[in-house]
């Protein structure tokens, strides 16, 4: 069961690391990401925070997954 947990956590981490940065590129290219003066909007800021949180969870999942496999 511990091996299954470790593998699941690592798969989750890899998924988040692959998917969220690509989503960030799409958000940055979205016309709603910047106003008429070129400044970042709240649309961009909110999505940047969400992506940052998702990547932090990915890092925690990777650490927990490795720990579960080693222990």
Euclidean distance between CA atoms 9 and 66, whole angstroms: 8
3-state secondary structure string across 43-63: HHHHHHHHHHHHHHHHHHHHH
How confident is the model over 31-49, as pLDDT tens digits? 999 999 999 999 999 999 9
In the prediction, which pLDDT does 10 show?
98
- The alpha-helical segments, DSSP class H, found in 1-71 are 2-29, 42-70
Residues of the chain below pLDDT 70: none
Residue 1 has a pLDDT of 87
Q: What's the confidence (pLDDT) of residue 40?
A: 97
Contact present, 1 and 21 (Cβ < 8 Å): no
Domain boundaries, the chain: 2-70
- pLDDT at residue 71, as a whole number: 87
């Amino acid at each position: 069961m511990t091996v299954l947990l470790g593998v699941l956590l690592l798969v989750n981490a890899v998924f988040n690391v692959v998917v969220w940065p690509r989503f960030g590129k799409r958000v940055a290219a979205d016309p709603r990401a910047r106003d008429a003066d070129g400044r970042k909007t709240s649309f961009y800021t909110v999505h940047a925070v969400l992506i940052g949180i998702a990547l932090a969870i990915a890092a925690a999942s990777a650490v927990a997954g490795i720990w579960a496999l080693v222990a």
